[in-house]
Amino acid sequence: MAGAGALGLIVLGSGSKGNAAVVVNRATGAGVLVDCGISKRQFMDGCAQAGFDPARIEGTLLTHEHTDHTKGFGVVMRGLAKLGCHPPLYASAKVRAASRPLAEIADLCEQRSFTAQDALAIAGVQVHIFPTSHDAVESFGFRFELDGDVVGYMTDTGLVTGAAHEALGGVRILAIEANHDLAMLHEGPYPYALKRRIEGERGHLSNDQGTQEVASLLHPGLERIVCMHISETNNTYGKPVRAMQAMLDQEGCAAQVSAAKQTRALSVV
């Protein structure tokens, strides 16, 4: 992971079929895993492609209990254990209680609780936790800080809470949800009730909503934007990138935009 910045971000998978990412302390090579809803093979292959040693994961964070964020924990934690790696898992008490995959790995790792507004130290990185708005028992996003470098991470939210907006200010790398194109959602095959859920205040951010939030967060130090949790049914990988880029061009911002993929790792530094 060549380039400047104390922190790096590896998105191993992002979308409705499975999510996982690693925030890397580039000085030490240690990492923080965010969610694990992908297979062990995709996890290990993605780490290898990004040049990250999975045995260097020093902690895992969980945004919420939905299975596309949790279903891979068992196989991945067992794989890490074979490497001599037993990272503690951090999740809210309500999320832990609601997640069967977490109950199944109770013997594999220590499980610790957090609440919104908590600050943690994992892998030498300061992690600040903020609430999001999703139809889970609780849901969260994260702000990662190290030596003045900052990564913001927010997916699975139907709106941007005040705490989330504040936490995402001044970041260098911003991973933000751009789940659906509203017209594609309305015209697509999903049942009406599911469409309402997705575009509701406890659903997912659209391309337009994600772009509007990024526009409100622009500052000279913003270098990279990653569009996250892109729907394969109600979006394309190009649509949110083009929306973000058009806004950046209009505002005269030189930040680069990427789309996180469902099955292909993306490294951002």
Average pLDDT over residues 49-75: 97
- For residue range 163-203, what is the model confidence (pLDDT) as tens digits? 999 999 999 999 999 999 999 999 999 999 999 999 999 99
What's the pLDDT band for 147 if we cut at 50, 70, 90?
Answer: very high
Average pLDDT over residues 62-82: 96
Residue 206 pLDDT greater than 60, yes or no: yes
Q: State which amino acid sits at residue 137.
A: V
Return the ∠ at Cα 59 (arms to 148 and 204), rounded to 5°: 80
- For residue range 80-125, what is the model confidence (pLDDT) as tens digits? 999 999 999 999 999 999 998 888 888 889 999 999 989 999 999 9
- For residue range 19-32, what is the model confidence (pLDDT) as tens digits? 999 999 999 999 99
Q: Distance between CA 164 and CA 76 in Å, rounded? A: 29
Q: State which amino acid sits at residue 238.
A: G
What's the pLDDT band for 1 if we cut at 50, 70, 90?
Answer: very low
pLDDT for position 107 = 82
CB 153 within 8 Å of CB 21? yes
Instruction: Provide the percentage of residues in the chain whose pLDDT is more than 70.
Output: 99
pLDDT for position 103 = 85
What's the pLDDT band for 228 if we cut at 50, 70, 90?
Answer: very high
Cβ contacts of 175 within 8 Å, gap of 6 or more = 9, 11, 21, 151, 152, 153, 154, 155, 226, 228, 260, 268
Query: Pick from 156, 206, 197, 154: which is nearest to 179 by CA?
Result: 206
pLDDT for position 141 = 98
Q: Please state, rounded to an integer, the average pLDDT across all residues of the chain.
A: 96
Instruction: Provide the percentage of residues in the chain whose pLDDT is more than 90.
Output: 94
What's the pLDDT band for 3 if we cut at 50, 70, 90?
Answer: low
